């Protein structure tokens, strides 16, 4: 039935009922807002906990033993006796330098020694004979003294010959270049046929021990001062044997599976950086840590008996980069600036701005603002779906209230007018 064909009185009645329904709908909306509907949010109550405080510092891996293989004699490289990048043992043959010149020098030294030994034998025999003749005055005293001196000179020539032979043996041995340590050998820096110099100590390769490695870390002196102050005033207590324990974090963010040990803390400050160097030693059976690699090292600061920790997702950042937490006080949200320390097991250590017993919002930030009334719900990390369903309940309740208001019209015509009113307002 078209409205234009209705009698004048009936048409006026329909228009009046529609207007009343529209006014009723508009009048109910402020009443719903004045009710102060509380938005459910997930919260945690902060409680002090005994926590080991750690700090994470940048560091570089360094080999415990690092040997540069250098030439100690001059000659031509005849052979390379290793596979580049392989593991070698102490004493393994690495290079062979042409030994012919040094073998000849040794043979010459050996011959000179034999000659000196023969000369010494003759000189000793003559001196012994003269020692009997001098008693019978058969030779002059001068002849006896000359024979004794010649025997002594011959003994000295033997000593010199032995030294020359030993030197020749050493140089001949240097033609066989061996590894001074166990470790991993790198690339060969010379090839067969290359001339290496013992005078200039030509570098031929490097060997590094990798089954255990050092990690050198740097730390600002300001952090050392803060830690000492905290230990002095009792805020922190020493962690005992765990104080020397260190954990490495690799470049991909994963934690290195083998724990290390802190060896020492630097006793002097680098004047250019204002930092001290700390050294830790780590086992490296799988050779994952390589010299020169960048890692981060976690070391223990001490034990905080009353540490205040909040989930990392609870921390908000202001426009100026400062940290803030949303607290629930008297049923309303209040933004509080805080200062955070280290991240520990997915939580932030809060050093200032937070007190024990404070209720901190962890989830539900999208629908709240400072001063808004909220309904705190205990936070559970594995109940995000349930929380989302609870957040959808207010909208569902509002829809049900609107439906009830629509059914408050009188008669079938009133229901039709109430149904047309939202369309006219859209």
Residue 237's CATH number: 2.40.30.170
What confidence tier does 349 reach under pLDDT thresholds 50, 70, 90? confident
**28 falls within a domain:** no
In a domain, 25, yes or no: no
Query: Total domain count for the chain?
Result: 5
| Judgement on whether residues 88 and 191 belong to the same structural domain of the protein | yes
Q: What is the pLDDT of residues 355-367, one digit of tens each?
A: 888 899 988 888 8
Q: Which H or E element spans position 211?
A: none
Please report, for the domain that includes residue 201, its CATH number. 2.40.50.100
> How many C-beta neighbours within 10 Å does residue 161 have?
20
Residue-number span of the structural domain to which 424 is assigned? 395-426
Domain contains 382:
yes
Q: How far is Cα 230 from Cα 134, in angstroms, rounded to an integer?
A: 93
pLDDT band at 236 (very low <50, low <70, confident <90, very high): low
Give dist(CA 412, CA 418) in Å, integer.
10
What pTM value is reported for the model?
A: 0.60
Do residues 316 and 382 both lie within one domain?
yes
266 and 358: one domain? Answer: no
- Identify the domain boundary among 125, 150, 174: 174
Which of 58-62, 252-256, 368-372, 403-407 has the least mean pLDDT?
403-407
The pLDDT > 90 percentage for the chain reads 40
In a shared domain, residues 368 and 344: yes
- Regarding whether 403 and 356 lie in a shared domain, the answer is no
Domain contains 89 = yes
DSSP, collapsed to helix, strand or coil, labels residue 314 as helix
Neighbours of 43 (CB within 10 A): 23
* Residue 302 included in any domain: no
Percent of all residues in the chain with a pLDDT value above 70, rounded to a whole number: 77
Mean pLDDT for all residues in the chain: 79
Mean pLDDT of 82-103: 95
CB-facing half-sphere around the CA of 165: CA atoms within 13 A: 15
pLDDT in tens, 246-267: 889 998 889 999 999 888 766 6
Q: Are residues 87 and 187 in the same domain?
A: yes
Contact criterion met (CB below 8 Å) for 184 and 82 = no
Q: Is position 2 within any domain? A: no
Assess whether 243 and 374 both reside in one domain: no
Claim to verify: residue 166 and residue 116 sit in the same structural domain: yes
**Closest listed residue to residue 157, CA positions, set 109, 106, 116:** 116
159 and 233 assigned to the same domain: no
Whether 69 and 185 map to the same domain: the answer is yes
Would you say residue 117 lies in a domain?
yes
180-221 per-position pLDDT tens digit: 999 999 999 999 999 999 999 999 999 999 999 999 988 887
> Do 252 and 265 lie in a common domain?
yes
**pLDDT exceeds 50 at position 295:** yes
pLDDT of residue 277: 84
Residues 368 and 351 in one domain: yes
Whether residue 5 has pLDDT greater than 60? no
Within a domain: 156 = yes
Among residues 267, 296, 325, which one ends one of the domains? Answer: 296
CATH code at 132?
1.10.287.470
């Amino acid at each position: 039935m078209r409205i234009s064909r209705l009698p004048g009185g009936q048409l006026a009645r329909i228009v009046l009922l529609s207007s009343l329904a529209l006014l009723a709908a508009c009048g109910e909306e402020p009443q719903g807002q004045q009710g102060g509907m509380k938005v459910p949010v997930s919260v945690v109550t902060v409680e002090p906990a005994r926590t080991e405080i750690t700090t994470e510092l940048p560091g570089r891996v360094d080999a415990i033993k690092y040997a540069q293989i250098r030439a100690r004699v001059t000659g031509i490289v005849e052979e390379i006796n290793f596979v580049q990048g392989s593991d070698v043992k102490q004493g393994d043959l690495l290079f062979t330098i042409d030994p012919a010149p040094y073998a000849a020098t040794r043979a010459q030294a050996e011959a000179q020694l034999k000659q000196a030994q023969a000369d010494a034998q003759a000189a000793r025999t003559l001196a012994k004979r003269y020692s009997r003749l001098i008693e019978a005055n058969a030779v002059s005293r001068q002849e006896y003294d000359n024979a004794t001196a010649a025997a002594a000179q011959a003994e000295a020539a033997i000593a010199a010959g032995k030294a020359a032979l030993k030197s020749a043996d050493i140089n001949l041995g240097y033609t066989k270049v061996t590894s001074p340590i166990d470790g991993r050998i790198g690339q060969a820096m010379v090839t067969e046929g290359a001339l290496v110099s013992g005078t200039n100590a030509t570098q031929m390769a490097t060997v590094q021990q990798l089954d255990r490695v050092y990690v050198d870390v740097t730390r600002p002196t300001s952090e050392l001062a803060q830690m000492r102050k905290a230990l002095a005033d009792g805020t922190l207590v020493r962690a005992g044997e765990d104080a020397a324990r260190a954990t490495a974090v690799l470049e991909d963010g994963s934690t290195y599976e083998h724990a290390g040990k802190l060896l020492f803390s630097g006793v002097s400050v680098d004047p250019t950086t204002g930092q001290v160097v700390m050294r830790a030693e780590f086992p490296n059976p799988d050779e994952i840590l390589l010299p020169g690699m960048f890692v981060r090292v976690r070391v223990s600061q001490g034990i905080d008996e009353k540490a205040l920790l909040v989930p990392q997702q609870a921390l908000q950042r202001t426009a100026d980069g400062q940290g803030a937490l949303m607290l629930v006080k008297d049923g309303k949200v209040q933004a509080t600036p805080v200062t955070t320390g280290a991240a520990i097991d997915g939580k932030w250590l809060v050093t200032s701005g937070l007190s024990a017993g404070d209720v901190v919002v962890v989830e539900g930030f999208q629908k709240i603002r400072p001063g808004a009334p909220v309904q705190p719900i205990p936070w559970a990390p594995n109940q995000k779906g349930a929380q989302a369903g609870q957040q959808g309940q207010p909208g569902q309740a509002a829809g049900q209230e609107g439906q009830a208001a629509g059914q408050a019209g009188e008669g079938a015509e009133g229901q039709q007018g109430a149904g047309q009113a939202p369309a006219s307002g859209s």
